Amino acid sequence: MDKNNQAAHLKKEILIKTIKAFLSDDFGESTRLIPFEMRPKGYEVPYRCCIYKEREILRNRIIASLGFSMEGADERILLSNYAKWATEREKPDEHTLTVLESACKGCVPNRIFVTDLCQGCVARPCLENCKFGAISIVNGKSQIDSSKCKNCTKCIQVCPYHAIVKIVVPCENACPVDAISKDEQGHARIDFDKCIACGKCVSSCPFGAIHEKSQIIDILYKIKQGKKVVAMIAPSVAGQLPCSIYQLKTAFLKCGFYDVLEVAQGADITATNEAKEFHERMNEGQPFMTTSCCAGYNNLVDKHLSEIAQYRSDTKTPMYYSAEICREKYPDAVSVFVSPCVAKKTEAMSNPNVDYVMNYEEMGAMFVAHKIELSELEPSSFDSEASKEGRNFGITGGVAKSVEVADNGNSEVKPHLVNGINKESIRTLKSFAKKGQCEFGNLIEVMCCEGGCVGGNDCLNNVRTATKAINEFTKDSKPIV
């Protein structure tokens, strides 16, 4: 995901300022003042109509960063009150995303549109190639009836002047399950019965209007209370920051965490169990099996793709097994999964062994707020080392490879990779289920994000660089046993 944009920088700045406010002597008042400090009197507004609109949007972003929904929020309530309530909350809100209506552009609907570039040519390939009767000629030029148009884009492909374009709403266009629509005012709304928490809408909105509700204050407050707070860092974290995971552990300890565990250890358990299950299923004559470690994919199957559920592995995720390890080792600890994506928050809500989820963006903001220079830290060792395969779980092909290695030649493993969930890959998975076979292989690795977990919506580094860093880190790691 491209983090080199103003919306991402703004989100990071707000997270840092919110955490700094928490670390200050007066959390409520420091939080209340953030919009005024970021947009002081005389500030030249680059995006909105006026400074007051800018402050309103900043306020709403802060509310989401404090972990609250903007749907139905009362603008009369002070930010200091939200700060106070964030420390009194017993558990996070049910839904992981919220729409900042004040930031939403209210984009025009998705549609195919004929521009003024239309030359009214004699050939009229757009008219000839439309199978739905959506195109007519008005005053010598093409015109599209949106009620008949099926958005097949054939007219776009054949127009010699490139006069026909598809107007997209970024969040709606990115959503693979049509969970986003518009209300009467044209603002985005999320249907949580459909939403799989893939985070694609968060990444795609150029106005940053869809926001993940943070749990960072909940986590920091538990530390402030003197609780044993244990971080469980996902395998993809190794490619995110300019430091080793051993220095990363030191950074967490400096922030007050009691201990740090590698989720790659849980990935080793997932790989071993999934290899056994794969061998059993192949012996029983099942045509293929899909992996089960991706929370976004699991949400997709549970909500939209029930026909493929019988082919999905029953093995639990690395987070699940890591949380079991954490609970056994520290029965009274507060467990925090450190995640590359929003989908893990939905998984955590159904797991009593996971108390909170911190994403990579929040992790980075926490280190900045604590003034920690990662590259200067001394490394801290882990009690036990995870395998190369477990540490590679976060990149495309890593899960399938780990299962193949853990299988140790007991079965003929033929991996097929579904690299990212979109409408096309959903159709492909449905076809596998309908036919009862996958002509490309017998072990289907499904990752919600392109590139694997390193492509998650909350990642800090680009996929290529992060993948390279993980490969470098894991080259000397021990093999799975």
CA distance linking residue 311 with residue 287, whole number of Å: 9
Give yes or no: residues 158 and 226 share one domain: no
Task: Give the position of tokens 């490879």.
Answer: 401
| Same domain assignment for residues 95 and 145 | no
Q: What is d(CA 342, CA 295) in angstroms, rounded to the nearest whole number?
A: 9
The residue-averaged pLDDT of 152-157 equals 94
Asked if 350 and 444 sit in the same domain, the reply is: yes
Q: What is the pLDDT of residues 370-423, one digit of tens each?
A: 999 999 999 999 988 999 999 999 999 999 999 999 999 999 999 999 999 999
- The letter for the amino acid at 393 is F
Distance CA 254, CA 71 (A): 36
| For residue 223, pLDDT beyond 90 | yes
Structural tokens at position 202: 């968060």
- My answer on whether 204 and 66 are in the same domain is yes
pLDDT for 292-320, tens place per residue?
999 999 999 999 999 999 999 999 999 99
| 209 and 276 together in one domain | no
Residues with Cβ within 8 Å of residue 408, at least 6 apart in sequence: 275
Q: Are residues 328 and 403 in the same domain?
A: yes
Cα 269 to Cα 390: distance, rounded to the nearest angstrom: 9
Please indicate, yes or no, if residue 480 is contained in any of the structural domains: no
Q: Is residue 301 part of a domain?
A: yes
Tens-place pLDDT, residues 176-220: 999 998 887 788 999 999 999 999 999 999 889 999 999 999 999
Higher-confidence residue of 395 and 168: namely 395
User: What is residue 2's predicted lDDT score, i.e. its pLDDT?
Assistant: 55
Instruction: State the pLDDT confidence band at 167, using cuts at 50, 70 and 90.
Output: confident
> Which strand ranges, in their side-by-side order, compose the sheet holding 356-359?
259-262, 229-233, 334-339, 356-359
Looking at the domain assignment, is residue 479 inside a domain?
A: no
User: How many structural domains comprise the chain?
Assistant: 3
Shared-domain flag, residues 101 and 136: no
431 found inside a domain: yes
User: Mapped to the 3 state alphabet, what secondary structure does 172-225 carry?
Assistant: HHHCCCCCEEECCCCCEEECCCCCCCCCHHHHHCCCCCEEECCCHHHHHHHHHC
Q: What is the pLDDT of residue 294?
A: 97
CA–CA separation, 426 and 303 (whole Å) = 12
Q: Write out the H or E segment, with its range, that includes residue 470.
A: helix 463-474
Residue 177 near residue 191, CB atoms below 8 Å: no
Name the pLDDT band for 426 (thresholds 50, 70, 90): very high
CATH number at residue 432: 3.40.950.10
In sequence order, what DSSP letters do the residues of 288-315 get, joined into one string? -EE----HHHHHHHHHH-GGGGGGB--P
Buried b (16+ CB within 10 A) or exposed e, 401-413: bbbbbbbeeebeb
C-alpha to C-alpha distances, 281 to 12, 284, 310, 318, nearest whole angstrom: 46, 5, 11, 21
**pLDDT tens per residue, range 455-464:** 999 999 999 9
Domain match, 24 and 95 both: yes
Which amino acid is located at 99 in the chain? V
**Which pTM was predicted?**
0.91
Range of the structural domain that residue 163 is part of: 111-167
Q: Are 91 and 235 in the same domain?
A: no
Report CA 262 to chain centroid distance, whole Å.
20
Q: Do 189 and 301 have their domain in common?
A: no
Residues 191 and 232 grouped into a single domain: no
Looking at residue 431, the DSSP 8-state letter turns out to be H
Tell me, what CATH number does 16's domain have?
Answer: 3.30.70.20
| Per-residue model confidence (pLDDT) at position 1 | 44
